[in-house]
Each structure stands twice: as C-alpha cells, then as structure tokens.
Structure 1
Amino acid sequence: MSDTLPVHVNRGRLHALETPDSFETGESFTVNLVNHGEPVHVHLHLDDALSEVATLEAGNHHVKSASTRPVRISVFDGKRPVRGKLKVVSAYGAETKFIDVNIAEPTVEKQPVEVDESLGKPVPNPEPSGGLFEDFTLEAKDVPVLVLGVAALVLALVALVTANSTVFLFGVLAVLAGVLVSVYLTLS
C-alpha cells in the first residue's frame, strides 16, 4: 500500500487529468497534484463512504505552472474496510475523473525485539534483610530524643499506676505510640 496518490494535470493537453483507476491504503495519504503545463484549479471531493473515515483539508486547489501541490487526506478511526470514490475535477469542470479508493485495515508492523547477552545471565539474589531495625544507626544528636522519649514513657507509666484509670491507660498508649514513632524516625 502506498501513502501517495499521483494525479497528473496538463500532461497531454490543456486541463487533461491522468489518474490511477484505483488506490488502496490503510492510513492517511497525500494526493500529489502534478501540473505539467499552465496554472490550473483542481477540485477534490470525497464521496459519502470515504467521508465517514477521512477528511480533506480543502476542496479547491490552485496548482502553479510546472509544480506539484500535495493535498493531505487524513484517515481517522472508523469502520474498515471502506470503498469509495475520490472525484478529481480540473479547470472548473473541464475534465472529471473518479478514483476508486479502498481504505483497508491499518497495517501494524511488528517491531523486532532485540536481546543482548546480559539477558541470559542470572541476576544474583540480594542479601537477606536483617529486619526492621537493620539500617538504624545511633548518633550523638539522637541521644536527647531517646532520653526524652524514655522519660515520657516512665512518667506515663507512673501516672497510670497511681491513677488506676482507663482514661490514663489510653493516654499512656498514645504516649507510647508517639515515642515509638519518634524513635523510628530519629534512627532511620
């Protein structure tokens, strides 16, 4: 399948059109309007079937003398395959041609998978972890936090024993949770 549809204008005679009878693609494509003579206007039109899956950037195109003008036809997602006609008109009706256009399913190219030698080598297992406190280190700046945490726990336990109340029990548990979190954050 090609992504360029050539349309020759003015090659044999003034306003003559030379087009292929049919064109097949699975994606957006370009109509190359190739002018071999005098400047000319070329009109392109998609029939109803093609208009369901494609759009044309503009219908009327001025092609300068001895030049090529590309016209993009964008194909979007929709039902496939679709068969329709592209109408090509030169010089406001001097000559008209119809091209059978088949928009097939888009081609999907499979990309090769490159494998290098390192993929065949086994990966060593990491050393087993020593647990939750493996990475903890105690530094001099952490000692005051630990001392205050232990002092808070001792005071909370003394209050719990002397008051003998459920409210104090919840308070001690809250203090204990706070101290454990602060010790964990300090040492990690």
Structure 2
Amino acid sequence: MASLAATNHYVEREADRLVRVEVTGDGTVRGNLKVVSGYGAQTRLVDISLVEPRETEETVQVGEDLSTPSPRPEPQSRGLPDAVGTLPVMVLATLALLTALGAVALFQTTAVLLGAAVVVVGVSVALYSLLAA
C-alpha cells in the first residue's frame, strides 16, 4: 500500500515538484494518481507503479594525482593594494563623504547628522579594511 503524506500539492506551470510517497510492505505497488488542473476544470487519473530500487555497488575510481596535495599559493604581500583596484574605491569613498557632509550643511537636522556619522564610520571601516589587507 502507498500513501501521500499530504494532498493538494500545487505545482507552477513548467515546474517540477518532489512528492514523498510512503510505501508499506515489499514489492511493486500499483495505483492511480489524480491530477487536477485549472482549479478543477480538468481531471485525469495517471497509472503509476512504484518499484523497489535495486541495490547496486557502484565504485568510484580515484586518480593517483589526487593523492598528493596541490601546492599552496604564495602569500600576497601586506603592502598597499595595487592602485588599479584601490583608486575607484577611494573615489567612491570621497564622494560618499562629500555627499554626507553636504547633506549635513544643507539640512542641519539631527537625523541627517546621525546618517552622516554612520556614513563616515562605514567609509572609515571600509578604507581600513582595504588598506590593511
């Protein structure tokens, strides 16, 4: 005997859905699966057969070259990062700081001041992380 743990599984168009079927007993189980579409406009019964899977012994061949570890990459220098990657970040950081300071000067409210402080702290942490790497 076979049963579904839940009924009325919704499946999107052109999609797949895994449905768990619980089988009691041994051997092949045959039955019908009712498929409904269009909110009940179309109904079909589909014949199904559930067969016990065969136990197989599958082995995996491992190549000899996988038994030796690969060489570790050389550590990068702890100096300044290359200017090609750093320059755009520095320009964006400067723009963020200037925008925050301009907003404080223009609006002069506590909320804008707090927002600018968050931007300054965020940019500072980002620049520190960039230069410390």
Q: Please, what TM-score do these two structures have when normalized by structure 1?
A: 0.26
Q: Please, what TM-score do these two structures have when normalized by structure 2?
A: 0.35
Higher strand share: 1
Larger Rg: 1
Which structure would you say has the larger RCO, counting Cα contacts within 8 Å and 6 or more residues apart? Answer: 1
Higher helix share: 2
